Amino acid sequence: MSLNKTSFIELAIKNNVLQFGNFITKAGRESPYFFNLGSFNNGESLKALGQFYANKIIETNIKFDMLYGPAYKGIPLVTAIAISLAEQGINMPYCFNRKEIKDHGEGGVIVGASISGNVLIIDDVISAGTSINESNKLIRDNGGNPVGVFVAIDRLEKGPLGLTATEEVSKNLKLPVYSIIDLLDIIDYLDQSNNYLDELDKIKEFQKTYGIT
C-alpha cells in the first residue's frame, strides 16, 4: 500500500470518517464499517481531503478542462480540490448544481463556471450510481463532455449483476472511475496493525460474502 493510501486511511480514522461497528448500508446489508466523508467537517481536514483528491487526479494523468461536484456533498469537495490543484500550479474552473432551479438573479441550475470541454465528476462514494448518472446527464445537457469520475472510496461490493457499483458505472457510462482507496486497502492497513484484530476479521468476512473475489 502506498504512503498516500495509508495516510488517507489514518486521516479518515482520526476524523471518524472511517468507523467500525455495526451499520446498515443503503443496500440493506449489515456492514462492520462505515465511511462518512461528511465528517471531514473542519478547515484542516477538508484541506487535507482536497489534497488527496488532487494528488489522485494528477497521478492518473487524465486530461480535463474543469471540475464538477453534485450537490450537496460534492460542493465542498469540488471547491477544496480546485484550491488544492491551484496550489500545485493547475488552475481549473469548477462548478456545482443546485437541487432546485433558481428563477431570479443569475438563474439556472449551475453555480460557478459554465460547463464546457472535458469535465471530471467529483463525488464521495458510489452506491447505486444514481448521482453519477444524473451528473453525467446534466453535464452533457449543458454542452460538456464527462471524461472521468473520482470518489474517495470504492467499497468493492457486488451488485445484482456481479459487478461493483464503480464497475457498473464505468461500463454503462463508458467512463473511468478512480478512487483514493478501496476496501482491500483498508483490509491491508488493518492487517498491518495490531489494534484492529476483531474489526479485521469482521471486514474480511463481509468482503468474502459481498465483495469481489
DSSP readout, 175-201? --EEEEEEHHHHHHHHHT-SS-HHHHH
Q: Which of 14, 63, 102, 137 is catalytic?
A: 102
Question: Is 202 annotated in the active site?
Answer: no
Nearest-angstrom CA–CA distance, 179 and 182: 7
Tell me the pairing of strands 117-122 and 66-69.
parallel
Question: Is 99 annotated in the active site?
Answer: no
Q: Which of 104, 158, 202, 208 is catalytic?
A: 104
Task: Kindly provide the residue ranges of all beta strands, DSSP E only, lying in the chain, ordered along the sequence.
Answer: 18-24, 30-35, 66-69, 94-102, 108-112, 117-122, 144-154, 177-182
Which of the residues are catalytic?
A: 102, 104
